[in-house]
Amino acid sequence: MQNLQWYPGHMAKTRRLIEANLKLIDVVVEILDARIPFSGRNPHFDDIIKNKPRLLVLNKADLADKNRTKLWIDWYAEQGLKVIPISCTTGMGINTVIAEARALIQDKIDRERERGRNRTLKIMMVGIPNVGKSSLINRLIGKASTKTGDKPGVTRGKQWLRIKGDAELLDTPGILPPKFEDQTVAVKLAYTGAIKDEIMNTELLAYSLCDYLRDNYPNELCTRYKLDTVEGLKGYEVLEKIGKKRGFVISGGEIDMERAANMVLDELRGAKIGHITLETPSQLNEQE
């Protein structure tokens, strides 16, 4: 697998924007992709945000493995972090986001109310690219006022937005770490589309994805692509069988592996293979 790095100039600018505005903020809402609840976090956020109250939101929970989502909610609770699963597609959990964020500073709100002041809750929204921040904001404010897209790097600049229920939201563009210390993290980000496909070898990416699915979701893989078994096969052999089943045959009887790779990645991202989560807390411990 190639060494993946992707850090456009606007991401460095975003870090400075977050640091400059943090003093104005009550609560940071960090959006994660529920399919990569650990790899989908920018580890630099801990240094930037420090002790500011933080709510973790697992978006795309409708695409993820529910049993694994529960494991991650419990794991983060042990780290002292509140996590809620949501789906911007179905609307699941959206109405709880502001209430849970407010609950993190309820004591402060109550103290100010006793002094006769009504506090406007100020939230900063952060996350890596392509986790659905703009979609969540549009849900929260009830209209499409921010650009959304299924490719990383759509949101740019600083936007303050008014939310129903006496709250204001500062949106920030998605930001990845400037360097991936662990390439397995980078690969998982690439699986879900947080890193642009254009900068990577999608065939190699699909090979490693097929390896993971073979070991963790063999039934879903076989059912989706009508395979008898994937046991004992290497990732590229699994992809080759998939390409053959789908009729991706080119001249000389060879399989169009690039086409098969792009299809498998697209179908993972669209949950057509099944409800897939690409890591568990126990697998994280094994890696360490």
Q: Please tell me whether 272 is known to bind a ligand.
A: no
Cα(31)–Cα(86) distance, integer angstroms: 10
82 is in an annotated binding site: no
Phi-psi label, residue 130: left if phi above 0, alpha if psi -120 to 50, beta otherwise: left
Nearest by Cα to 260 from 272, 246, 270: 246
Ligand-binding annotation for 131, yes or no, is: yes
Residue 132 annotated in ligand binding? yes
Q: Is 135 annotated as belonging to a binding site?
A: yes
Between CA 56 and CA 58 the distance in angstroms is 7
Distance from C-alpha of 201 to C-alpha of 4, rounded to nearest angstrom:
10
Decide if 137 contacts 125 (C-beta within 8 A).
yes
Cβ-based burial of 44 (10 A; exposed 0-12, middle 13-18, buried ≥19) = middle
Q: Is 196 known as a binding-site position? A: no
282 is in an annotated binding site: no
Going by DSSP bridges, is the β-strand pair 167-171/159-163 parallel, antiparallel, or unpaired? antiparallel
Per-residue tokens: 210: 């097929």
Output the 3-class SS for 229-257.
Answer: CCCCCCHHHHHHHHHHHCCCECHHHCECH
- State yes or no: 52 annotated in a binding site: no
Q: How far is CA 225 from the centre of its chain?
A: 26
Is 61 part of any known ligand binding site?
A: yes
Q: 51 Cβ partners below 8 Å, 6+ apart? A: none
Q: What angle do CA 68, 70, 71 make, to 5 degrees?
A: 65
Structure-token match 């949501």, residue found:
86
Binding-site residues from annotation: 59-62, 130-135, 174
Binding-site residues from annotation for GTP: 59-62, 130-135, 174
